Amino acid sequence: MSVLLTATDLSVSYGKVVAVHNIAIELPGSGIVTLIGANGAGKSTTLLSLMGVLPAKGKVMFDGIDITRSPVEERVEMGISLVSEKRDLFSSMSVEDNLRLGCYRRNRSHGGEALEEVFGRFPRLKERRHQLAATLSGGERQMLAMGRALMARPRLLMLDEPSLGLAPLIVRDIFRIVTDLKDSGIAILLIEQNARAALEVASAGYVMELGEITTHGPAGELINDRRLIESYLGIRQ
Amino acid sequence: MDSTITLFLVQDGLINGSIYALLAVAFVLLFAVTRIIFVAQGDFVAYGGLTFAALQQGSVPGSIWLLAGLGVIAGILEFLRERHTLTRPRILGILAGDFIAPLALVGVVILVAPYDMPYLFDMALALALVVPMGPYIYRICFRPMANASVLVLLIGSVGVHWLMIGLGLLFFGAEGYRAAPMFGANFVVGPVLVSAQSLLVMGATLALLVGFYLFFGRTLAGKALMAAAVNARGASLVGISPSFSGRTAFLMAAFVGAISGILISPLTTLYYDSGFLIGLKGFVAAIVAGFASFPLAVAGAIAIGIAEAVSAFFASAFKEVIVFSLILPVLIWRSIRAPHHEED
Ligand SMILES: Nc1ncnc2c1ncn2[C@@H]1O[C@H](COP(=O)(O)OP(=O)(O)O)[C@@H](O)[C@H]1O
Ligand SMILES: [Mg+2]
């Protein structure tokens, strides 16, 4: 399968603290790859740097083009979207305005179709299209953040803990939507606290510990890895 | 105090309040988008008004040299910043936008200044000279320190303010100017005399405020700017570049300042340093609004304008003292009432 993104020797620091140290990641053009690891391992930092939000050392190639020095807006234009851990919604603006701004840089000429598509995927957002984003529930906020990212019709969608803080029923919805998106052909990089659930939908996984990638491989292998089972996966529920 | 005086004071207060309202909106906008408390906001009022007055009198305004200088510096910085990624169209773009356009404008001004040009032409020319200074100042001073703290940005803006005052003295001299009004007419409305110019100021303010409202509420560019103000990282995640938002916010702030100066230049004598006090009152209105709410900023500005007119009537020597003391209770009330917002 073709390679969409490769990051090599990627390091990210907050001031003097090195949060991500010399990692390498390779993402295929389709399917889900998951990034798992304990809190503070550096997962969110990795995604923010791949998006260009945080400056990083190393090299990032996307679709054969060196984007190491590209600012965020250029990466958006090329088809990378990030749903950040904080969602980063425009809270004092309406649901519809949030979505419409999602195609500010990319796919603007098909904004209307994209909006209908997002409303089809998230009917709740359609019902609440005139409501302010601040008035949404946690699950709806997550849907809005995902919907906003999808408005640009990205080729690579990076999701940072989309199920964080949501009720189990809604988590199930979110996972169903993530697998739907995968089936529609978008490449997905997924950070997830529930490592077992993530590995069950993913084709490959990377395990991060203290800013470094310690293990990676096909999801089917990782899910049976004895050491991983002990530290992250727990007993099958 | 009879009703004639009351109405007169209200009229006076409304005119000043309108200008403060415009400046307050500019303060709020600029702060929301860039986190810069732009102390030099008022200097654009003086530059706009004095540049316009100079053109009206048929002399060449010294501010042209600032525009040319800023353009060249911004252009050189742009070349340095992008030296690794420069393409031919980009080089031509920088040359045209930062070198040729400002220098051509300077040439035009030197050529046409001695002639008596129509009022609107001089107005447009003054705007064309002063407004681009906003984005240039952003690019030269503030973009390089986009991640600095609010305090460092504030220090930067104080620096810009002193620079503009110093250069203002050089360009316009120490004496004040007053431009001729666009319409000399006066109307008698009931017991008060209303000058056409004051109606023009209020009308233009209203039009600009409505314009802002439509821009932010109806256009994608306006919503993008608002989005950058509401959540900077969210905005960058959808591809709204921070430097675009910064330039646009500075453009609007400079425009608001310059047009305010042009509008009031026939009503009051402007000096090179008049902008500071005018800006300060807009700033106070912005504080009243917690640097967040546009309608509150406008209401606060109008209230300050009227308070100022009333105190000028009763104790003109203490006008500023009274106005700024009146602010204190509001600020105390706000600091008690307003919770500290978490960034979301
Ligand atoms: N804004 C920040 N400033 C300083 N340190 C940070 C910041 N964000 C995260 N860190 C640190 O970087 C490390 C990695 O954090 P993060 O990428 O958020 O981990 P994860 O997403 O895996 O939980 C942690 O030690 C965290 O404390
Ligand atoms: Mg995280």
Domain ranges of chain A: 1-73+190-237
Query: With 60 as the cut, is the pLDDT of residue B235 above it?
Result: yes
Which pLDDT score is estimated for B36?
Answer: 92
How many angstroms separate the alpha carbon of residue B131 from the centre of ligand 2? 43
The model's confidence at residue B342, banded by pLDDT at 50, 70 and 90, is very low
Per-residue confidence (pLDDT) for residue B32, from 0 to 100? 86
Q: Is B284 within a domain?
A: no
- Closest to A188 measured CA to CA, from A169, A170, A201: A201
pLDDT at B344: 42
Q: Which residue of B has its CA nearest to A150?
A: B238
Please give the Cα distance from A78 to B230 (Å, whole number): 25
Residue A121 has pLDDT above 50, yes or no: yes
Instruction: Quickly state the pLDDT bin for A237 (edges 50, 70, 90).
Output: very low
| Ligand 1 close to Cβ of residue A14 (< 6 A) | yes
A7 CA to chain B: closest CA distance, Å? 20
Give the residue on B whose Cα is nearest the Cα of A88.
B234
Q: Has residue B233 got a pLDDT over 70?
A: yes
Q: E strand or H helix at A3, and its extent?
A: strand A3-14
List pLDDT tens digits, range B78-114: 999 888 888 899 999 999 999 999 999 999 999 998 8
Q: What is the pLDDT of residue B197?
A: 84
Q: In what order do the strands lie in the sheet with A3-14?
A: A17-28, A3-14, A57-62, A65-66
The predicted structure's pLDDT at residue B323: 76
Write down the pTM of the prediction: 0.86
Name the residue range of residue B34's domain. Answer: 26-275
Asked if residue B78 is part of any domain, the answer here is: yes
B241 and A82: CB-CB below 8 Å? no
Decide: B279 and B45 in contact? Cβ < 8 Å. Answer: yes
More confident: B199 or A52: A52
SS3 A99: helix
The token pair at A227 is 């050491």
Looking at A166-180, B212-226, B326-340, which range is the least confident one? B326-340
Cβ A179 vs Cβ A194: under 8 Å:
no
CB contact under 8 A, B224 and A69: no
Using the atom order of ligand 1, give the atom closest to the CA of residue A14: 4
For the segment A7-46, what is each residue's pLDDT rounded down to a tens digit?
A: 999 999 999 999 999 999 999 999 999 999 999 999 999 9
Rounded to 10 deg, the angle between the B41-56 and B275-288 helix axes is: 140
Contact B19, B26 (CB under 8 A): no
Residue ID of nearest Cα to ligand 1 atom 1? A14
Q: Indicate yes or no: CB of B230 within 8 angstroms of CB of A90.
A: yes
What's the confidence (pLDDT) of residue B343? 43
Label each residue of chain B as H, E or C.
CCHHHHHHHHHHHHHHHHHHHHHHHHHHHHHHHHCCCCCCHHHHHHHHHHHHHHHHCCCCCCHHHHHHHHHHHHHHHHHHHCCCCCCHHHHHHHHHHHHHHHHHHHHHHHHHCCCCCCHHHHHHHHHHHHCCHHHHHHHHHHHHHCCCCHHHHHHHHHHHHHHHHHHHHHHHCCCCECCCCCCCCEEEECCEEEEHHHHHHHHHHHHHHHHHHHHHHHCHHHHHHHHHHHCHHHHHHCCCCHHHHHHHHHHHHHHHHHHHHHHHCCCCCECCCCHHHHHHHHHHHHHHCCCCCHHHHHHHHHHHHHHHHHHHHHCHHHHHHHHHHHHHHHHHHHHHHCCCCCCC
Question: CB neighbours of B235 closer than 8 A, spacing ≥ 6?
Answer: A90, A101, B224, B227, B228, B242, B245
pLDDT higher for B331 or A215?
Answer: A215
Question: CA torsion angle for B278, B281, B286, B290 (degrees, to 10)?
Answer: 160
- Residue A44 in contact with ligand 1 by CB distance below 6 A: yes
- Segment B36-59 shows an average pLDDT of 94
| B238·A92 Cβ contact <8 A | no
B69 pLDDT higher than 70: yes
Buried b (16+ CB within 10 A) or exposed e, B254-269: bbbbbbbbbbbbbbee
Question: Which ligand 1 atom lies nearest to the CA of residue A43?
Answer: 22
- The answer to whether B32 faces chain A, any CB pair under 8 Å, is no
Within-domain flag for B343: no
- Cα–Cα distance for residue pair A233/A82, rounded to 1 Å: 25
| Strand ranges, E, within A103-201 | 156-160, 187-191
Domain A1-73+190-237, CATH number (from 3.40.50.300, 3.40.50.880, 3.10.20.740, 3.30.70.20): 3.40.50.300
The pair of three-digit structure tokens given for residue A106, joined into one six-digit string: 């990319």
Best CA proximity match to B75, nearest among A133, A24, B67, B195: B67
From chain A residues 136-165, the ones with a CB under 8 A of any chain B CB are 148-149, 152
| Tokens (6 digits) for A142 | 């997550």
Take residue A67 and report the two structure tokens written for it: 């984007």
Q: Which residue from B223, B231, B237 is facing A97, i.e. has the nearest CB?
A: B223
Q: What pLDDT, on a 0 to 100 scale, did the predictor assign at position A193?
A: 86
| A109 touching B (Cβ < 8 Å) | no
Q: Are strands A187-191 and B186-189 parallel, antiparallel or unpaired?
A: unpaired
pLDDT of residue B339: 57
Q: Whole-angstrom Cα distance, residue A232 to residue A210?
A: 14
CB A232 within 8 A of CB A219: no
Residue A81 has pLDDT above 80, yes or no: yes
**Nearest residue (CA) to ligand 1, atom 27:** A40
Helices B242-264 & B41-56 angle (0-180, nearest 10) = 50
State the amino acid at position B116 in one-letter form.
D
Tell me how far apart the alpha carbons of residues A70 and B131 are, in angstroms, rounded to a whole number.
30
Q: Ligand 1 atom 7: the closest Cα is on which residue?
A: A14
From the list B77, B76, B55, the residue with the least C-alpha distance to B64 is B55
Q: Note the maximum CA span of chain B.
A: 71
Interface pTM, i.e. ipTM:
0.93
Q: What is the pLDDT of residues B309-330, one digit of tens each?
A: 888 888 777 777 877 787 778 7
- CB of A86 sitting under 6 A from ligand 1: no
Q: Does the structure show a pLDDT above 60 at B75? A: yes
Ligand 1 pocket, A41 CB below 6 A? yes
Q: How far apart are CA A20 and CA A30, in angstroms?
A: 25
Given a contact cutoff of 8 angstroms between Cβ atoms, the answer to whether A98 and A148 are in contact is yes
Ligand nearest to the CA of A86: 2
Whether the per-residue pLDDT at A234 is higher than 70: the answer is: no
Q: Ligand 1 pocket test: pick from A11, A12, A14 the residue with the most ligand atoms within 8 Å of its Cβ.
A: A14
- Measure A215 CA to ligand 1 centroid, in angstroms: 20
Pairing of strands A3-14, A17-28: antiparallel
A88 inside 8 A of chain B by CB: yes
CA A210 to centroid of ligand 2, rounded, Å: 12
Backbone angles phi, psi at B253, to 5 degrees: -65, -45
- Which range, of A178-192, B172-186, B261-275, averages the lowest pLDDT? B172-186
Average pLDDT on A66-75 reads 94
In this structure, of A172-186, A188-202, B283-297, the range with the lowest mean pLDDT score is B283-297
Choose between A232 and B254: higher pLDDT.
B254
The more confident residue out of B9 and A229 is: B9
Chain A contacts of B236, Cβ < 8 Å?
53, 72-73
Round to whole Å and give the CA distance between B263 and B88.
42
B295 and A CB contact within 8 Å: no
User: In sequence order, what are the residues at sequence separation of 6 or more whose Cβ sits closer than 8 angstroms to the Cβ of residue A41?
Assistant: A208, A209, A210, A211
End-to-end CA distance of chain B: 51
Tell me which residues of chain B, numbers 188 to 227, contact chain A at a CB-CB cutoff of 8 Å.
220, 223-224, 226-227
The answer to whether the CB of B226 falls within 8 A of the CB of B217 is no
The shortest C-alpha distance from A210 to chain B (Å) reads 25
Does the distance separating the beta carbons of A71 and B234 come in below 8 Å? Answer: no
Contact list in B for residue A87 (CB cut-off 8 A) is 234
**CA distances (Å), origin B244, targets A44, A160, B2, B249, B281:** 26, 27, 52, 9, 28
Instruction: Answer for the pair B8, B191: CB distance below 8 angstroms, yes or no.
Output: no
What the block records as the tokens of A225 is 């890895």
Q: Which ligand has the nearest atom to the CA of A35? A: 1
Mean pLDDT of chain B, nearest integer? 88
Name the residue among B161, B180, B152 with its Cα closest to residue B277.
Answer: B161
In a domain, B328, yes or no: no
Where is average pLDDT lowest: A131-135, A225-229, B15-19? A225-229
Give chain B's domain count: 1
Residue A108 DSSP symbol: G
- List Cβ neighbours of B167 (8 Å cut-off, separation of 6 or more): B62, B66
When pLDDT is cut at 50, 70 and 90, the band that residue A219 belongs to is very high
Measured between beta carbons, which residues in chain A are less than 8 angstroms from residue B239? 72-73, 76-77, 104-106, 152
